[in-house]
Structure 1
């Protein structure tokens, strides 16, 4: 009998409503289990440990004990407080320039701020300079995947019958969200399909040929932040039952998944002969009869999960599916070329850009503040609703994902809380709580933040701040949060 499934901690997600006219974040439940951004920050680990106080949460108390998030995105047509051609607010350049000049942000910061509705540039500091983006590259990964595959695409794990070999073949479909429960359900359906054919026993093989012949190790090597990149794994190869954050990973996740599937088949009544063996992909996979299939959540949901949790494994999987959609090899080189092709198709500038991986763990990655902000503008285009999950998946400052423990005002106090000319102000970081939605990026010596912010007069801006050469991650994050908070407090209409 298979072991009982581990109980996962309950997680509440911020409810998000979307319409063709635009977006608005609904006040309501917020996520308390804080995941990690690239596994680099011990502060986020402590936050997660403090937040995850039990296996279940009192749903009746959430609304009374936590502040509701303010609306983050307003309708994308020009409207009250967000009229097209509102122009660059006086004083914004001085206010941001002072904050982004904080020594905590290292030797050089590149930055850009655009109006999300019109694409008008409001602020720039070397916006075309390529910098290590860390996990903010996931914004580009998400945009490319959605454009290539569409938000309704699902990743399929299948089981086929090899009649010649009298064996069951578990075919990895590149779905890192596959769980033990999913695999058990797939086994039950497989056993039932074989029983209808009068088959009570068979050997088992597994096929991982989808990804350029098999599994691939990230250039980081063996690392708790990412599993072997393979089209067949359960719970991202995690060994401790956790669902996010750095943790030891399986050495051979494909083999482990196949052995778990064998146990599931036996429990479902099929006699499994021998141990699972790796199976060479047939020349024509369609010749093998399909017995059962498991499909992931829609790609739009996967993108939201990837961005909110800064999920490295899911990011690499989405990058590879983007490459496969273009007929490229599902490896690092194929991913880089596929993402560049999608950027071309979307008309986004990528001079000075290098896509070395899809997750941002590789220090060879280079992005520009210009590309990141223009990617966010593209995601907000009312004529491209299929790209909207790039915006709805961004963590909400002070509430969800990798921003759950930030923008609390403890470390990001203003340098000058008096309004500057034209209504721009250097505001406390907590001014951005609920108003900023952004992807974080953290590597040693690198701190980045890119996303959207609603100003105090209702204008929605896209911003990207990329800092390198940082020595104190907490101080750098505080400085970035203060800059984003200043945008939230800006009278930019």
Structure 2
């Protein structure tokens, strides 16, 4: 039975990935259909429906419950692995009933590392809605002949040339924004402007006071600002981040504007756009559901921090680390999923974050519930064992669970966590969280131990 389940579900995974890839090849970058002044207009392709990979797991999860004694025996033995260290917690929940099937230190607050992103993305989908988008705009300034580049908090905004094969989800293009701005200005008879930028959507420090000082220099995240391009990286593929992402984005925009025939007579630097300013041009991010999926699949720290701040804005709180943490908890409270969740950032880089294994498993059960379709991108976004994201290289040669487990990983110094969902051998949908934050040195040993725990749940 296990082998047939594996074959069927892996086939479904591959089919879904094929559909996504086919859709991505058909999508055309916004920049590719726009033309520079004087060039020919290419034919615009027909619209293509956006398709995302659906859940691999059985949505109903209505098979029989696993035998508690068998599950407890397997997990208790595996939790004793010395690679996990001296502080380990575990929880396994039944999605349909919410019943705890197994717990060991389930209510202990444990450093979650990047499994914090589950709380952030659930809150963003519940508060903003899956179809919301982040906007980067250009508006008229207060003085005649002035314009302002206004950041909307989209870290995926890109200044790079579009790839030969369009990617999904497509990021907003700074070049498209510059070209649209140039066209609008010229249509109004303006060819010379003063340009400034407004990144005031966010408040407070751009680096969390709870982060370790090496995170930004090592490229774990960029300073969190409302205006940046390419996640604040100094070059494509580089881990190094610029010290002032807002200024770097502004400089790139000015250069592109000049390329499209508008003279920038003066650099205005940082400013505040008038509240009633006329919009000249805009570009928009992919929808929040796609941003949430990206955050989980790639464990994207910059996107997670941006989503947390967007939740703060939507919930009427300051768009700061402190305001975002409070807003995320506010939303989780509405979902009745805040118990055992205490966070200080959106990405999980903060070593002060504490989440109980039962809290993470409960959060995932809420996200997977048929009653919460707006939250289902959590399921489609989590890495798939042996296939995608941070689980693409995990679970080794354990082919029996490849494609059966979706989970978010978390790793910091001395911390290793894994939280996700799977179906049991008889088709029951369950969520789990295995967390250790006193892990001894030995790269990969704790991760392998967590993988064995998740595999034991799938085999139960």
Settle same-fold status: TM greater than 0.5.
Answer: yes
CA distance, structure 2, for counterparts of residue 430 and residue 190 of structure 1? 52
On the 8 A contact 1:214/1:231 being kept in 2, the answer is no
Equivalent position to 1:348, from 314, 332, 337: 337
Query: SS state of the match for residue 342, structure 2?
Result: coil
Corresponding residue of 1:207: 198
Corresponding residue of 1:151: 130
Structure 1 residues 75-474: aligned runs within 5 Å: 75-76=59-60, 78=62, 82-83=63-64, 86=65, 88-181=67-160, 182-212=173-203, 215-216=206-207, 219-221=211-213, 222-223=216-217, 224-242=219-237, 247-282=239-274, 285=275, 287-351=276-340, 353-409=341-397, 429-471=398-440, 472-474=442-444
* Structure-2 change in CA distance of 1:71 and 1:394 (3 Å): closer
The structural deviation recorded for 1:274 is 2.5
Higher deviation after alignment, 170-179 or 219-228: 219-228
On the 8 A contact 2:55/2:380 being kept in 1, the answer is no
Query: SS state of the match for residue 250, structure 1?
Result: coil
Higher deviation after alignment, 121-130 or 207-216: 207-216
On the 8 A contact 1:138/1:360 being kept in 2, the answer is yes
C-alpha root-mean-square deviation of aligned residues, in Å?
2.2
* Structure-2 change in CA distance of 1:317 and 1:480 (3 Å): same
| TM-score, scaled relative to structure 1 | 0.78
The structural deviation recorded for 1:430 is 4.4
The structural deviation recorded for 1:180 is 1.1
The structural deviation recorded for 1:163 is 4.7
The structural deviation recorded for 1:118 is 2.4
The structural deviation recorded for 1:27 is 3.5
| TM-score, scaled relative to structure 2 | 0.83
- Over residues 37-96 of structure 1, what are the superposed CA-to-partner deviations in whole Å (9 max), with x where a residue is unaligned? xxxxxxxxxxxxxxxxxxxxxxxxxxxxxxxx9983113263xxx25xx36443110110
CA distance, structure 2, for counterparts of residue 146 and residue 483 of structure 1? 29
* Structure-2 change in CA distance of 1:466 and 1:178 (3 Å): same
The structural deviation recorded for 1:339 is 1.1
* Structure-2 change in CA distance of 1:165 and 1:107 (3 Å): farther
* Structure-2 change in CA distance of 1:198 and 1:70 (3 Å): closer
The structural deviation recorded for 1:313 is 0.3
CA distance, structure 1, for counterparts of residue 88 and residue 56 of structure 2? 25
* Structure-2 change in CA distance of 1:442 and 1:199 (3 Å): same
Corresponding residue of 1:486: 456
Corresponding residue of 1:73: 57
Corresponding residue of 1:412: none
Query: SS state of the match for residue 333, structure 1?
Result: helix
CA distance, structure 2, for counterparts of residue 158 and residue 215 of structure 1? 21
CA distance, structure 2, for counterparts of residue 233 and residue 303 of structure 1? 18
CA distance, structure 1, for counterparts of residue 87 and residue 142 of structure 2? 62
On the 8 A contact 1:25/1:73 being kept in 2, the answer is no
Structure 1 stretches of 4+ moved >6 Å: none
On the 8 A contact 1:128/1:368 being kept in 2, the answer is yes
Query: SS state of the match for residue 194, structure 2?
Result: strand
* Structure-2 change in CA distance of 1:485 and 1:400 (3 Å): same
- Name stretches of at least 5 consecutive residues in structure 2 with no aligned partner: 1-8, 19-52, 161-172
* Structure-2 change in CA distance of 1:341 and 1:71 (3 Å): closer
Corresponding residue of 2:48: none
On the 8 A contact 1:335/1:358 being kept in 2, the answer is yes
